[in-house]
């Protein structure tokens, strides 16, 4: 009972302090706090979504040729820190000829095929489980309309309007 009353008193004190703090904020500061809170919540949601995908067994993304090169040569590379090793490997990768890069790029291509196959089976499994909401849509983003396409659409609208007028006159 005593703890309950202490909690209520503390809560009331906190509410008053919070109201006083919010009252002294400028509109810009309040907007900044609100934006920061939105970002934090979005980040938390993305972490939860990623964890859920991992639990459901979503395949890992395909590795690039450079990624495969680094994983094979990281231990043998020279450098005091991992960052230094990575920089040294990046420079080595840049200096490699395309024929020397070819085996890594071929492995990356094979990994891409593996990923596509695993994704197809995973998506089918998710649909079967009734989790179609997890499957990314295949829709492409609409391209920005250029001036030419706008002019073409405008002229096609005009021609349609003219043809409707002719039909209505007949």
Tell whether 63 and 125 lie within a shared domain. Answer: yes
Alpha-carbon distance of 79 to 90, in angstroms, equals 12
pLDDT in tens, 14-34: 999 999 999 999 999 999 999
Residue listed under structure tokens 């500061």: 29
pLDDT at position 16 is 97
pLDDT at position 145 is 59
Q: Is the pLDDT of residue 139 over 60?
A: no
Q: What is the mean pLDDT of residues 3-19?
A: 96
Q: Is the pLDDT of residue 132 over 80?
A: yes
Per-residue three-class SS string for 139-159: CCCCCCCCHHHHHHHHHHHHH
Structure tokens that stand for 157 in this block: 């609208």
pLDDT at position 19 is 95
HSE, side-chain direction, 13 A CA sphere, residue 35: 6
Structural domain for 102, as ranges: 59-132
Work out the mean pLDDT of the chain and round it to a whole number: 87
Domain count, the chain: 2
Pair 122, 134: CB distance under 8 Å: no
Tell whether 45 and 63 lie within a shared domain. Answer: no
Longest dimension (CA), the chain: 91
Pair 78, 114: CB distance under 8 Å: no
């Amino acid at each position: 009972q005593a703890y309950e009353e202490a909690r209520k008193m503390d809560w009331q004190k906190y509410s008053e302090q919070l109201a006083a703090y919010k009252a002294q904020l400028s509109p810009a500061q309040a907007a900044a706090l609100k934006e920061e809170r939105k970002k934090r919540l979005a980040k938390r949601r993305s972490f939860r979504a990623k964890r859920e995908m991992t639990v459901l067994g979503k395949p890992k993304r395909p590795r690039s040729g450079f990624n495969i090169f680094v994983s094979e040569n990281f231990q043998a590379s020279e450098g005091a820190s991992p960052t230094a090793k990575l920089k040294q490997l990046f420079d080595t990768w840049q200096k490699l000829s395309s024929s020397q890069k070819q085996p890594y790029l071929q492995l990356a291509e094979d990994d891409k095929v593996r990923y596509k196959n695993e994704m197809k089976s995973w998506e089918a499994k998710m649909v079967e489980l009734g989790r179609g909401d997890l499957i990314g849509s295949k829709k492409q983003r609409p391209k920005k309309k250029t001036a030419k396409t706008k002019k073409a659409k405008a002229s096609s609208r005009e021609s349609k309007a003219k043809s409707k007028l002719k039909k209505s006159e007949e």
